[in-house]
Amino acid sequence: MNYLKRLSLLALLTFTSALASASTEAACVNDKDGRKGAKNGLINDLIKKSNDPLTAAFFTPASPEKPGTAGDHCISCSAAKPFSGMQKLIEGITSLTKETEPDKIKKECIEASLQREVVNTGYICYDQKAKAFQSAGSNTPCLNQQSVDYLHFALNKAVACMSQNRDPIDPRFILKKINNETAFNFFLAYSQGVGIGQLTSYPVRELAGWYQNGKFNPGNARYVLEEMAKNEDPSCDAFKQIAEKDLKDNPLKPQGKRTATMNRGAYCNFVSPGAGLSRSLVYSLGYYVYLRDQIVKPAVAKRSTTLTREKELINNLTLIAYGPGGTVEMKALIAKHRLGKNNASTVNSKLKSSSVYLKATEAKMRELLKIADPTAPINEAALRGDKCLAQL
Partner 1 sequence: MLSAIIIGAFLSTNAFAQAKVADFYKESKASLELAKKEKTFGKKLEQLKKLESSFKTTLKEYEEKMPDEGNDEEKEVSLLFYTLEPVFNMNSTEDCVKTEHAIKADDRMGRGEEAKLTPRAEEALNWVKVLCKK
Chain positions contacting partner 1, by CB under 8 A = 191-193, 200-203, 205-206, 212-213, 215, 217, 220, 261-262, 321-329, 331-333, 335-338, 341-342, 350, 357
* Neighbour count for residue 349 (Cβ, 10 Å): 13
Say if strands 193-194 and 189-190 run parallel, antiparallel, or are unpaired. antiparallel
Long-range CB contacts (within 8 A, 24+) of 191-198: 194/262, 194/266, 194/267, 194/270, 194/271, 194/280, 195/270, 195/271, 195/276, 195/277, 195/279, 195/280, 195/284, 196/277, 196/280, 196/281, 196/284, 197/280, 197/281, 197/283, 197/284, 197/285, 197/287
Question: By C-beta, is 87 or 345 nearer to partner 1?
Answer: 345
Q: Report angle CA 112, 262, 206 to the nearest 5 degrees.
A: 90
Q: Which is nearer to partner 1, 339 or 389 (CB)?
A: 339
Nearest CB to partner 1, comparing residues 128 and 212: 212
**CB of 377 vs partner 1, minimal distance in Å:** 30
Cβ at position 307, least distance to partner 1 in Å: 16
User: With respect to partner 1, which residue has the nearer C-beta, 59 or 270?
Assistant: 270
What SS3 state is found at 189?
strand
Give the integer Cα–Cα distance in Å for 376 and 370. 8
Compare residues 205 and 240 and give the one whose CB is closer to partner 1: 205
Residue 145 vs 261, nearer CB to partner 1:
261
Minimum Å gap between C-beta 155 and partner 1 is 21
Q: Across the chain, how many H-helices and E-strands are there?
A: 18, 6
Kind plus residue range of the DSSP H or E element containing 166: none
Query: DSSP letter string over 16-40?
Result: HHHHHHHHHHHS-GGGTTSSS---B
- The amino acid present at 224, given as its one-letter code, is V
In the chain, the N- to C-terminal Cα span, in Å, equals 59
* Least separation in angstroms between CB 328 and partner 1: 4
- Please check whether residue 84 is in contact with residue 344, taking contact to mean a CB–CB distance below 8 angstroms: no
Is 11 or 332 the residue whose CB approaches partner 1 more closely? Answer: 332
Looking at beta carbons only, is 153 or 173 nearer to partner 1?
A: 173
- Which of residues 67 and 324 has its CB atom nearest to partner 1 in the complex? 324
In sequence order, what are the beta bridge partners of 63?
A: 66
We find the least distance from the C-beta atom of residue 344 to partner 1, in angstroms, to be 16
Q: Taking Cα atoms as reference points, which of 134, 139, 132 lies closest to residue 38? A: 139
Radius of gyration in angstroms for the set of CA atoms belonging to the chain, rounded to a whole number: 22
Query: Closer CB to partner 1, residue 8 or residue 200?
Result: 200
Residue 327 Cβ vs partner 1, minimum distance, rounded to whole Å:
5
* Residue 139 near residue 133, CB atoms below 8 Å: yes
CB half-sphere exposure, 287, CA atoms < 13 A: 27
DSSP 3-state of 212: strand
CB of 261 to partner 1, least distance (A): 7
Which CB, 160 or 333, lies closer to partner 1? 333
User: Which backbone phi and psi does 22 adopt, to 5 degrees?
Assistant: -65, -40
C-alpha distances out from residue 129 to 54, 268, 270, 326, Å? 21, 7, 12, 32
In the bound complex, what is the minimum distance in angstroms from residue 332's beta carbon to partner 1?
A: 4
Question: Considering the complex, what minimum distance in angstroms separates the CB of residue 351 from partner 1?
Answer: 12
CB of 191 to partner 1, least distance (A): 5
Least Å distance, CB 285 to partner 1, is: 16
